[in-house]
């Protein structure tokens, strides 16, 4: 009988592969274990594509295990080639440090930091990677890896098959990731590494390295890569990534992202990205005939985990005010303009382009021609429409793009 941690991993669809599921199940039934997931720090925030991994860390805590969060200050200097078509932009150490500080805020919001026994442990692999002696590293670590085997891993093989450039710097990434696991095993008694399925080869390398160098057993586990029913990549929209940091994406926009989930993905995402019990998800899915009610449940629960219950309820109320009552939801994204600008007049194309509602004026012209913009519920007929102070009731009006995107324009 598998333990509750492994069992819930499977019920929620988190489990893809494991190096030895029976042994991992057995050892995690008997005692609390430590497991880690690594996150490269290429931006000031993670996006929703990383959320499944964070939910697995949260699940570890639920079942009494301690998550280790490796923030890759060292490996970010190189860049993971897994799933990438080209070499990443190289960041300097100061920028990486700023990104690490910013990214930590999300983990502190989602994970339990109050219980010392299971509170997340943060590590930065720059601590050991930036101090390596190259010759010594090649002798001690590099001797355990063969080029033949490294060429078989998807992260390398796919780039070479597509005849896309793969630098020697990136080629070394899998060795460094294996070395991370080795270091965490020694220093933190970390016996488990978790990652997406594209990390399988890198994870197996770490398990092998620990076995060769320490004659000890460790374990690797992967989650499935998320593919949307529409075929699009998880977390990507026409406006870009769905960021987890509030300064890059408002709680309301985050709520809307989940509310707009494809019908075919709702049940799966309720299991992936909420704490609603798996059996309850099955029951609700069978009983609830209106898929939109399930989408609201998903949006509420997912937003609550990241931004808290108050922000989740506020986002839901804003959506109701905006869509059901055709009113002005207080939590809508804001566009601020000065009364001085309005005295001169602002062309609607300039307003749309300046605030990145659409990517270009030509795209805005096309949408206006198709009657896709409204001001306070009235269709914009003319691309030469000028905003003036008289258009604002109590210094506010609502700009709508299609049925789902609304903005409050405020005079300041």
* pLDDT score recorded for residue 331: 65
The residue among 239, 237, 279, 281 whose CA lies nearest residue 258 is: 237
pLDDT in tens, 3-25: 899 999 999 999 999 999 999 99
Q: Are 207 and 220 in contact (CB under 8 A)?
A: yes
* pLDDT score recorded for residue 1: 41
Q: Are 404 and 256 in contact (CB under 8 A)?
A: yes
**Residue 352: pLDDT band by 50, 70, 90 thresholds?**
confident
* pLDDT score recorded for residue 244: 95
* pLDDT score recorded for residue 222: 96
Q: What pTM was computed for the model?
A: 0.79
Q: How far is the C-alpha of 209 from the C-alpha of 142, rounded, in Å?
A: 10
Burial class (CB in 10 A: 0-12, 13-18, 19+), 285: middle
Stretch 82-95: mean pLDDT: 66
Q: How far is the C-alpha of 233 from the C-alpha of 196, rounded, in Å?
A: 14
pLDDT in tens, 183-213: 999 999 999 999 999 899 889 999 999 999 9
Domain spanning 334-411: CATH superfamily: RNA-binding S4 domain (3.10.290.10)
Q: How far is the C-alpha of 393 from the C-alpha of 408, rounded, in Å?
A: 12
* In the predicted structure, residue 230 carries a pLDDT above the cut 60: yes
For the chain, the domains span: 4-223, 250-324, 334-411
β partners of residue 66: 34
Residues 6+ apart with CB under 8 A from 349: 361, 364, 365, 383
* pLDDT score recorded for residue 87: 52
Which CATH code is given to the segment(s) 4-223? 3.40.50.620
* pLDDT score recorded for residue 327: 53
Rg over CA atoms, the chain: 24
Query: Hey, what are 370's tokens?
Result: 């198709």
- DSSP annotation string for 378-393: EEP--TT-EE-GGG-B
What SS3 state is found at 68?
strand
The residue among 110, 201, 194 whose CA lies nearest residue 152 is: 201
* In the predicted structure, residue 170 carries a pLDDT above the cut 80: no
Burial class (CB in 10 A: 0-12, 13-18, 19+), 380: middle
Neighbours of 211 (CB within 10 A): 13
Which CATH code is given to the segment(s) 250-324? 1.10.240.10
**Residue 411: pLDDT band by 50, 70, 90 thresholds?**
confident
* pLDDT score recorded for residue 86: 47
Higher pLDDT, 188 or 325: 188
* pLDDT score recorded for residue 167: 75
Q: Which of 132-136, 203-207, 214-218, 269-273 has the lowest mean pLDDT?
A: 132-136
**Residue 82: pLDDT band by 50, 70, 90 thresholds?**
low
* pLDDT score recorded for residue 238: 54
pLDDT in tens, 259-318: 989 999 999 999 999 999 999 999 999 998 899 999 999 999 999 999 999 999 999 988
Stretch 351-370: mean pLDDT: 86
Q: Which of 49-58, 85-94, 190-199, 378-387 has the lowest mean pLDDT?
A: 85-94
Report residue 345: phi and psi, to 5°: 95, 135
Residues 6+ apart with CB under 8 A from 411: 336, 337, 338, 339, 342, 389, 392, 395, 396
Query: Hey, what are 309's tokens?
Result: 């219950």
* pLDDT score recorded for residue 323: 64
Q: Are 236 and 30 in contact (CB under 8 A)?
A: no
Q: How far is the C-alpha of 46 from the C-alpha of 55, rounded, in Å?
A: 13
pLDDT in tens, 244-257: 999 998 898 899 89
The residue among 64, 35, 406 whose CA lies nearest residue 203 is: 35
């Amino acid at each position: 009988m598998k333990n509750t941690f492994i069992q819930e991993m499977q019920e929620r669809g988190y489990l893809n592969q494991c190096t030895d599921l029976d042994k991992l199940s057995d050892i995690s039934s008997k005692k609390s274990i430590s497991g880690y997931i690594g996150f490269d720090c290429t931006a000031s925030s993670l996006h929703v594509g990383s959320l499944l991994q964070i939910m697995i860390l949260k699940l570890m805590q639920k079942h009494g295990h301690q998550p280790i969060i490796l923030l890759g200050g060292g490996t970010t200097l190189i860049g993971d080639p897994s799933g990438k078509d080209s070499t990443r932009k190289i960041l300097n150490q100061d920028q990486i440090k700023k990104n690490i500080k910013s990214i930590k805020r999300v983990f502190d919001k989602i994970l339990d930091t109050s219980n010392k026994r299971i509170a997340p442990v943060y590590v930065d692999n720059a601590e050991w990677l930036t101090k390596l002696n190259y010759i010594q590293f090649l002798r001690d670590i590099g001797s355990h890896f063969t080029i033949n085997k490294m060429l078989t891993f998807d992260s390398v093989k796919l780039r070479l098959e597509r005849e896309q450039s793969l630098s020697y710097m990136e080629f070394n990434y899998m060795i460094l990731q294996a070395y991370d696991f080795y270091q965490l095993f020694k220093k933190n008694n970390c016996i488990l590494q978790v990652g997406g399925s594209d990390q399988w080869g890198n994870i197996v390398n770490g398990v092998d390295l620990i076995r060769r160098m320490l004659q000890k057993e460790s374990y690797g586990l992967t989650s499935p890569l998320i593919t949307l029913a529409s075929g699009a990549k998880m977390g990507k929209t026409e406006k870009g990534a769905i960021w987890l940091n509030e300064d890059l994406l408002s709680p309301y926009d985050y709520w809307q992202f989940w509310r707009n989930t494809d019908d075919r993905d709702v049940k799966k995402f309720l299991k992936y990205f909420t704490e609603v019990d798996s059996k309850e998800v099955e029951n609700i899915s069978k009983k609830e005939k209106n898929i939109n009610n399930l989408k609201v449940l998903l949006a509420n629960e997912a937003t609550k985990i990241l931004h808290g219950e108050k922000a989740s309820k506020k986002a839901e109320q804003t959506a109701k005010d905006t869509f059901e009552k055709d009113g002005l939801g207080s939590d809508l994204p804001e566009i601020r303009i000065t009364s001085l600008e309005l005295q001169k007049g602002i062309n609607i194309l300039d307003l749309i382009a300046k605030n990145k509602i659409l990517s270009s004026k030509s795209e805005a012209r096309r949408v206006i021609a198709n009657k896709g913009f409204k001001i306070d519920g009235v269709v914009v007929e003319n691309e030469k429409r000028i905003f003036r102070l008289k258009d604002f009731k109590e210094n506010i009006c609502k700009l709508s793009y299609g049925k789902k995107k609304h903005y409050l324009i405020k005079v300041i």
